[in-house]
Amino acid sequence: MWNGLKISAVFFEEYGLPVLEKDFAEHKDQIAAGLVGQTSECFGYDDYISRDHDYAPGFCLWLPEELKKDIGDDLQKAYDAIPVEKFITNHRFDVGMAEPSGIMTGARSHRVGVHSIEEFYFEHTGMTHAPATTEDWLATPQMHLAEAVNGKVFRDPSGVFSSIRNVWEGYYPEDLIKKKVAADLAMAGKTGQFNYVRSIKRGDIGAAYCCVTEFIYKITAALFLLNGRYMPYYKWRFRAMKEFTTLSNVVEPLMRLSQMSEEESKGKVKELVKRGWSSGYSDYLLDNAKLVMKTISDTEIASWNVFVGED
């Protein structure tokens, strides 16, 4: 059974591209197409359960803001006129669905169809351009950046949409990775290695559970950073972690919602030593966070409090 990205790509190739070539030939080279953004199919994680609402063949068309003002309405009408039911009938066994979802929340029209390049990136990053400063990189939560660079771009003749995407996709500058890892490790150590024990000693089980939850969250955030991946919306974090190539052995203990064992903590420190970010003299994560801070070259970033930058 095709997943959502495959359905979208074939749907565009068979029905979307011919519309561009026939009715918008003058502008087709300024129009990018693909499936990127929110929903499970953009991450490639859709399954039978995810098809209970807002699920139907679709794709995105991105064009410059000025061009959208001129042809956007006509392009959207042409998109809306594409025979979805005919496509499903022709590929019923491939798409694994007899008809589009009967439950449409209205959010779908915001996720597929015609959008300007500027509005797409502003919605997901808060900017209409690629990041140029430290402030730009830190301004947007990772879950939104994950949605800005997921999915696939099927075509982009002008390269405008992809030129912005490629910068975000290239990931944080190394000093910012170090800073964010240090902040997440510092908080993980504070919650899971320090305050958890204190909470248990005083019998405050509620606080102890909060400590474990925060510990798992911060370790997860650091793992995404060490894997060069933006951490997605909480619903898809553990699914995305199955694709890790660095410290993948840590995923299973976290999935059991328990603290990492001493041996697994040592494994995480070994990764920092391997990168030259820590000497590995201590297994306490806050100690290692401070050592990572010392390797940051940018003097301004290096001067920040160790907890600044945590996800």
Domain coordinates in residue numbering, the chain: 4-169, 174-302
Distances (CA, A) of 215 to 15, 193, 240, 243, 261: 48, 8, 18, 21, 13
Residue written as tokens 């025979």? Answer: 83
DSSP calls for 170-208 = T---HHHHHHHHHHHHHHHIIIIIIIHHHHHHTT-HHHH
Distances (CA, A) of 204 to 6, 196, 207, 213, 256: 50, 9, 6, 15, 22
Instruction: Supply the pLDDT for residue 161.
Output: 98
Residue written as tokens 């697994």? Answer: 264
Going by C-beta distance under 8 Å and a sequence separation of 6 or more, which residues neighbour residue 81? none
3-state secondary structure of 114: strand
Neighbours of 67 (CB within 10 A): 15
Instruction: Supply the pLDDT for residue 133.
Output: 96
Nearest to 219, CA basis, from 194, 242, 195, 253:
253
Instruction: Supply the pLDDT for residue 102.
Output: 53
CB of 184 closer than 8 Å to CB of 311: yes
Low-confidence stretches of the chain (pLDDT < 70) are 52-54, 96-109, 256-269, 272, 281
At 159-188, the pLDDT tens digits run 999 999 999 999 999 999 999 999 999 999
Neighbours of 134 (CB within 10 A): 16
Per the confidence metrics, is the pTM higher than 0.75? yes
Instruction: Supply the pLDDT for residue 155.
Output: 98
Phi, psi of 103 (to 5 degrees): -110, 105
d(CA 240, CA 224): 9
d(CA 43, CA 257): 24
Structure tokens at 117: 């390049």
In this structure, which amino acid lies at residue 59?
Answer: F
Instruction: Supply the pLDDT for residue 39.
Output: 85
Instruction: Supply the pLDDT for residue 272.
Output: 67
Instruction: Supply the pLDDT for residue 98.
Output: 44
